[in-house]
Amino acid sequence: MATLSPGMTVKEISCKIVSGVAPLSTVLPKPITSTTALSALSALSAMRYILFILSLFIASPAAHAAGTILVFGDSLSAGYGIRTEQSWPMLLDQRLKQKRLDYSVANLSISGETTAGGRSRFNEAVNLHQPRVVVIALGANDGLRGLPLTQMRGNLEAMVETAQAAGARVLLIGMRLPPNFGPYADAFHESFHAVAKRRKTLLLPFLLEPVATRPKLFQADQLHPTAEAQPLLLDHVWPALLPLLK
């Protein structure tokens, strides 16, 4: 069974799929109690908010496109460690133009994002972009932090429901954890299926399926795909997304 990346162990996940600003240090974080830690958390929250505000302007809907595809993900969709234009969502934007499909891509993915963080900014993004299609690719950081799965499912379901209420069609993209996460890994992966079934939306079970067992297609951290992997990710997403564009 394919996992988040090849050959990973719990010890190797110290960096996780997180922001380059403040990577996590443990799978299950301890409660934050010190003033220094609280200040660091506040600074990180402020930085993520600034990144989100900037993304709203940078990813504003194209003037000549009739429909917007809103991509809401983490570093796997934000292009962590590579140029932004090399990320699979931006390659998707190029493919849409090449095929003369009247859509543009607004990629509001942020490295380090959890489903809770995504949910907190989701309504504003939907109101601004008024997308016809929404791609939700969040949850990896929830899993790597060992966050409660009931919380993750609730956040994903809330975002799907908001998008559907706004008239958008939704593609939910799932993730897998390394098998050494034990029963949590299976329950984590099943959570995406449960949300998709409950909200009656399309599901792509595992974003990294075409590259997960190919170490050379990952960066040195063995977590984030290289630029060479991005076209393969797009080719993997494309068949699931295409029915939503008709």
Give the SS3 label for residue 206: coil
Among the listed residues 5, 75, 111, 191, the single catalytic one is: 75
CA nearest 191: which of 243, 222, 147, 245?
147
Place of tokens 């595992």: 206
Other beta carbons within 10 Å of 8: 19
Please say if 75 is a catalytic residue.
yes
Read off the DSSP letter of residue 85.
G
Give the tokens for residue 171: 């593609």
DSSP state letters, 45-60: HHHHHHHHHHHHHHTP
Please say if 221 is a catalytic residue.
yes
Give the tokens for residue 52: 């989100």
Identify residue 212 by its one-letter amino acid code: A
CA nearest 236: which of 217, 201, 214, 208?
208
194, with CB counted inside 10 A (0-12, 13-18, 19+), is middle
Catalytic residues: 75, 221, 224
